[in-house]
């Protein structure tokens, strides 16, 4: 049984560059979430997918951010024209939703982004 | 939006001591989770506890949903318990997201 995996684990980039992160959820999970965590804070919700459909976005997700989940499996989060304020840990989580009730979320190890 | 407050923000314990961490939340919630974040940033699931009491080894948790708080108990603490403990709640948003709202965490340091 494998948990949620994320790639890369660390990314250092220069301001203005584009970056893309990947998340592979637990295989039978239909929900996939992206969160962002800055130093000294708890994670904050960015967006989520139910299967392949992106159903909600936080106001934190500016138009430089885009997320996809083709075929309802893995997901990618792209940040265009990175800014120093984008430096953070990007966390992916997955869960299994059934019967209209929320269930336990499981998190990946995160991708730590540093924008120079 | 919902507010999640954790206390204390910092806690230093001698190895072997017991501790209680508290999480207060401002609205009715569907679910509540406790996590331990290790030094590498991995969030480790401790409890999924929308109500009632659960125990797992030296850890136990109690959620009193009607009074909007949860407690995490750590007994006989070990140095490996060090890290940040987060409480997170999910509030049905109407959009069906069940997104988690996290507190700011309690940073626990267990010294030998």
pLDDT in tens, B29-81: 888 999 999 988 999 999 999 999 999 999 999 999 999 999 999 999 999 99
Chain B residues in contact with A106 by the CB 8 A cut-off are 45
Q: CB distance A104–B98 less than 8 Å? A: no
Residue A53 at interface with chain B, using a CB cutoff of 8 Å: no
Q: What tokens appear for B100 in the block?
A: 């988690």
- Give the pLDDT of residue B93: 59
What's the rounded mean pLDDT across residues A41-52?
A: 93
Report d(CA A3, CA B7) in Å as an integer: 30
Phi/psi for B39 (5° steps) reads -60, -20
Query: Please, which pLDDT band fits residue B13 given cuts at 50, 70 and 90?
Result: very high
| DSSP 8-state class, residue A60 | T
Return the structure tokens found at A114: 């540093």
Q: Is B41 in the A-facing interface, judged by CB distances under 8 Å? A: yes
Residue B14 has what pLDDT?
97
Where would I find the beta strands (DSSP E) of B41-99? Answer: 43-48, 52-56, 59-64, 69-74, 83-90
Q: What mean pLDDT do residues B1-16 have?
A: 95
In chain A, the residue whose alpha carbon lies closest to the alpha carbon of B49 is A104
From the list B28, B3, B14, B11, the residue with the least C-alpha distance to B84 is B11
Please count the CA atoms within 13 angstroms of the CA of A111 that sit on its side-chain side: 26
**Per-residue model confidence (pLDDT) at position A110:** 97
Answer whether residue B1 shows pLDDT above 90.
no
Query: Span A68-85, mean pLDDT?
Result: 95
Q: Is B43 on the interface with A (CB under 8 A)?
A: yes
At residue A59, does pLDDT exceed 90?
no
Q: Which of A56-60, A78-82, B24-28 has the lowest mean pLDDT?
A: A56-60
Q: What is the mean pLDDT of residues B23-33?
A: 91
């Amino acid at each position: 049984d494998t948990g949620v995996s994320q790639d890369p684990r660390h990314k250092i980039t220069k301001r203005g560059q584009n970056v893309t992160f990947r998340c592979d959820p637990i295989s039978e999970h239909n929900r996939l979430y992206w969160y962002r965590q800055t130093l000294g804070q708890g994670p904050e919700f960015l967006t989520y997918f139910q299967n392949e459909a992106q159903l909600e976005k936080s106001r934190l997700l500016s138009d430089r951010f885009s997320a996809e989940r083709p075929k309802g499996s893995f997901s990618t989060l792209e940040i265009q024209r990175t800014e120093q304020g984008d430096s953070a840990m990007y966390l992916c989580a997955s869960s299994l939703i059934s019967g209209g009730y929320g269930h336990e979320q499981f998190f990946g190890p995160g991708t730590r982004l540093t924008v120079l | 939006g919902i507010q999640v407050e954790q206390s204390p923000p910092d806690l230093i314990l001698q190895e072997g001591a017991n501790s209680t961490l508290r999480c207060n939340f401002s609205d009715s919630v569907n679910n509540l989770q406790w996590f331990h974040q290790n030094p590498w940033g991995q969030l480790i699931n401790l409890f999924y506890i929308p109500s009632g009491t659960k125990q797992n080894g030296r850890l136990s948790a109690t959620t009193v949903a009607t009074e909007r708080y949860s407690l995490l108990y750590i007994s006989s603490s070990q140095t490996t318990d060090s890290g940040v403990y987060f409480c997170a709640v999910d509030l049905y948003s109407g959009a069906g997201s069940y997104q988690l709202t996290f507190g700011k965490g309690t940073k626990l340091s267990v010294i030998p």
